[in-house]
Structure 1
């Protein structure tokens, strides 16, 4: 494991130069090591940093401005898996200044220039076994890593999360299921946004499991976690909902969607699926236009949030991720999503 924090922690070394090399595809900058080794296929440039910053704001709205969901007041050590631009890790380190926060990601390119003194950002491949000691962390946070975790790695990845979480500690996972769905029956297989989802899933077939968000609860139970709370929160592609909260989410998500329809897909569609660059750009443009049409009332199946305890210490703990009104609506949507896919 390589470290890019101010002081190197025991067991870390300087960042290997091969992790710093970049390559350009379709005018976007990627980490060469990631794409050549089929680890991660999203850009690591300034545009992606801006998108991840917007995405962090979006998730803050989705989760009512809460960074940490489990009922823990004074964590001593927190691990953030797949920190990306480190927005969550920075905010958590500032919220808990007496806590040591560790962030791990395959790339250091998107790390901020200045970070809190209690934040330690390290470079490593989450597809490899964790080097952290058993029972190291009070909270382990894993967010939007489905595009980077190999399909065959998920079982051992979740076991690693369990192993490094201390007894009585918590694991908090957030994933997005990028299958678009309609809330008024207007979506067909001919629409660009449906084709975008279909081809994205095809491009990752056998390598990454983009359907994992649907199965996280059972997978984490198998890994040993208990008191599992698994919720699905729909993500409107723009501000079409009459519900005030959902409309706010759609408003914030609009620019995020317009960005990720390109950044998440441009390499997989062209380099893995073999689409001609012009065809891929035309599909992305069509998907963007449709996603930005309020009359369609479309959304991605949603943000899946899974909170679970390392080991039960008595009665189950109920965690309110969102308001009770939203919980009823989202639980119904989760049932529909499972039935549909």
Structure 2
């Protein structure tokens, strides 16, 4: 089967969907009957592009100020896609919210319905595009892939579609996420002035949906001696409406017990994650929650919200809190500091849970969806 995969998102720094596209493309290349062509917005390639760093954009800052620039870029991309797409592929896979026009079979991946539950977490222009295009994309697709059963159920009800239109293909975990000794990560620990097992970590774009304020409040309530010994490190790019966190984050940073590290390259993040006491992931809503899986695969306990798809990912290994419960998060952090047996049990349970997920499994489920559509 000749598959066109829209990989334009790989031109930007690889956060959730970008990691999905990169890892899925690699795993699909090992499926014997899949011939993958990657569309990167301006042309085609057979290989993944190098990962971009923050600040990269196909649209220059000047061009983004021009009315209709987004629509013009979309028109150009459609023309570029048409030059090869319809004539040379059997199926088009759109891994984001809105597919390009294509006369042949189409599969889309619907990662979540954030725009419905938390429209305030999207820039207005982007929200308008999502609302305008997502329903059309769902209608265009013969099958809809989701990362979790939670999203499949939610989307089925919202769009009024039968269950057979959905295929759940859970995400996987990259090989770089695995347990490491303190000696193995000595360089990155020294770079950030921390000790193995003696810091908490938050990973995710800085935006209201990630609920970072809960982590800041709970960490601030730890005794002074523990805040000094177990600082809170935050990894992630600035997102939409980060200014809502500005005052709270400024106070936390000024305390000296919270460090904002920004976006880190993949290997640095994997090393830093493997040395954490725990990952704190109190998100309000997730279609999967990839950092939860990556932490467990690294042998690191997870504190996460009992909301949306997070329990589906963390299973019995998660330390669950409600996303507004500062006291609950503080107590979960204290227990992982004070109770070494509990910490070890969470570590072992997390490794077992993470073993249930792989990009190979995700690729198998995805390839099976392709075959079903093309064969049908």
Q: Which is richer in helix?
A: 2
**Which one has more relative contact order, counting CA pairs under 8 Å at least 6 apart?**
1
TM-score (norm 2): 0.30
Q: Decide which structure has the larger Cα Rg and report it.
A: 2
Instruction: Give the structure with the larger strand fraction.
Output: 1
TM-score normalised per structure 1: 0.33
